[in-house]
Amino acid sequence: MKNHSQFNLPFFQRAFTLVEMLVVMVIVSLLITVIMQGFGYSMGLYQRVVKSQKSAYSEVLAYGWLRSTLATQVAARPKDLGLEGENNGLSTYTYEPLLDQAGLKTRIQWQVVQEGNVVNLSYREGDTEFAVYRWPESSGQFEYLDEKGEWHKQWPAEKTDTPPLPVSIRLLISTGSEVRNYVVNIVTRKRAEVTMDEVLYGR
C-alpha cells in the first residue's frame, strides 16, 4: 500500500496582525506627509522666484522708461519752459515720450508720491497719467547734478534766462539701510543752441 502522506503536508498562511497594519499605515502616512511638505516647500519657493523675477523685470522696465525720456531732454531757450525739478518730481520736454511719437518735442512729468511708507513712481504725458512702479517700506526723491559735480534737490539750481540742463538726474530710493540709485545721464545738448537747420525747419 502506497503512502500518500507526502501529499497531505499541512499548509500554513499567516495574515497581517492589527498591530502590523497600524504600523504600515503610520509609516505610509509619514511618507505622504514628508512628500507633501517637500512639494509645498518647492511650490512656495517657485512662487517666490516667479514673484521676484516679475518684480525685477518691472523695476528694470521702469528704469528704462525713466532713462529714455530724461536722457533726451530739450534745453530751454529764452521764453521756453525748460526743466522744472523738485525733489518729489519734475516736468520737462523730451524727444522720447512713452506715448507720443518719438522725435517730437513733448512735455512730460515724472512724480514721486510718498503714501505712508510706500513710494509710487508715476508718469504723465498730456492728459494721460499712470503708475509705473512702487517700492514698499521706502522713501524716494529726485536730485540733479550740475556741471560742478554738485547734487541739488531742485532745478534750475540758479535762476537764469536760459538755464542749462543738468548733467545727470538721479532717483534715490531708500529701503532701510539699502539705497537704490537710478542715474540718468543727459545725452542731448545741455544748453540751448540754435543751429541753421533749426532756423530753417524749426525745432
- pLDDT tens across 82-137, in order? 899 999 999 999 999 999 988 889 999 999 999 999 999 999 999 999 999 999 99
Q: What angle do CA 183, 174, 82 make, to 5 degrees?
A: 40
Closest CA to 144 of 64, 68, 88, 79: 88
Mean pLDDT for 164-189 is: 93
Model confidence band, residue 157 (pLDDT cutoffs 50, 70, 90)? confident
As beta bridge partners, residue 139 has 174
Confidence of residue 202 (pLDDT cuts 50, 70, 90): low
The three three-digit cell numbers of residue 155, written as one number: 532745478
Identify the residue with better confidence: 5 or 108: 108
Cut 0.75: pTM above it: no
